[in-house]
Structure 1
């Protein structure tokens, strides 16, 4: 039986590290737990995203791939792409989405959120659920999302509100950047989205959890280098 890592930082910090970057047997277990916990956040976020059947859609930080599967059910004539920083999550997502991958309706990759491997104006919709905690505070990851969105395209980010996350001992400042509505708005603006193109709404989840669903429309396009797959 695999043993949980025991070195440094305490149990809660180690759990926070696994949620930030799942790896090994414990990371696989964390991914399976994430799929259950994130079911309601995905429902809210994908409803806000409202993808069309022929859209080109990207999910950032797709975890075990449950959200990708729902996107593939909706995007029947377009294409779904995903980028993940964890090899363990990439393996889980590939298993879950084998049919869509085999049909070439989906493309998955590993990489850095600050260097998306797609050209400017590649996507109609971009989704990120419970992943913005791991974006850089300078907004480079959001800037890359703005770059790959087509004019008029939409980004939807779901995060759990800071007021809830302060009660969770695994979500410490060494592993998670937390947000209230204003902090979420600031990072979107820092990444290049216009203030008038951003809307942030509260969402109530079970057990008193407060979520935030941010939608941001690409009114202009940031250009820059890209790194082809």
Structure 2
């Protein structure tokens, strides 16, 4: 039992699949909804922006981004087919018209062209990145010069200190790095919110 419980948790939230993944998606849709919508609102998306939502889960933030970038393009990248399926259901009309596109990938391999994204959003995926340096390098690559990275990560799931996260982001080439603790109380308590940008001339 002790060894099976972590597997159940992983199949529900870490790498969602099967029945556990469907249940996990429903829980995430409720637990992360406020954070995802707030992050989209804080991003101040322009209606023509190209937005990449990394790890959209069941698609709550993806739908919010699609509503804000109504004449742009919104891309959801997730490694779990179950989450992509739930995104297709939640954003069915936008996916049908091509306004929302879904791609199976992860933080280290988004499958997107160089400099193709205006804003990159991600909520509670940081602890799932096997190699933070490689992931940040990839996210920097897909952002256009002047593009922005906005992420939220549960404090209790953050590996290392906030200062280390900030340093890692800066070492990947990002500038204008702002990191703050948002004391919004979710299921897992407060979250860190990070805003950073790719320089205009790089």
**TM-score scaled by length of structure 1:** 0.80
Point out where structure 2 has 5 or more consecutive residues left out of the alignment: none
1:212 aligns with 2:192: yes
**1:128 and 1:138 mapped to 2: Cα distance?**
14
CA deviations 1:137-188 (Å, max 9, x no partner) are: 34111111101111111100100113xx4xxxxxxxxxxx535422321331
| Aligned counterpart in structure 2 of residue 182 of structure 1, from 141, 153, 163 | 163
Tell me whether 1:152 sits opposite 2:146 in the alignment: yes
Picking from 91, 102, 125, the partner of 1:97 is: 91
- Which string of whole-angstrom CA distances, capped at 9 and with x for unpartnered residues, describes residues 97-145 of structure 1? 0000111111101123212211111011000001111113341111111
**8 Å CA contact 1:71, 1:80 repeated in 2:** yes
Mapping of residues 56-205 of structure 1, within 5 Å: 56-162=50-156, 165=157, 178=159, 180-194=161-175, 197-205=176-184
Greater strand proportion: 2
- The 2-side partners of 1:154 and 1:42 are apart by 16
2:47 equivalent to 1:53: yes
Q: 1:179 to 1:50 in 2, by over 3 A?
A: farther
Aligned residues: 201
* C-alpha distance 221-115 of structure 1, shift in aligned 2 (>3 A): farther
Rate the CA distance shift 1:78–1:219 in 2: closer, same or farther, 3 A: same
Task: Say which SS state the counterpart of residue 194 (structure 2) adopts.
Answer: strand
Distance 1:138 1:33, change over 3 A: closer
Distance between the aligned counterparts of 1:14 and 1:114, measured in 2? 25
Deviating runs (4+, > 6 A) in structure 1? none
Q: Is 1:202–1:213's contact at 8 Å kept on the other side of the alignment? A: yes
**Bigger Rg, structure 1 or 2:** 1
Q: CA deviation at 1:55?
A: 0.4
The correspondence for 1:44, drawn from 23, 38, 56, is 38
Return 5+ residue gaps in structure 1 as ranges.
1-5, 166-176, 223-229
The answer as to whether partners of 1:116 and 1:144 remain within 8 angstroms in 2 is yes
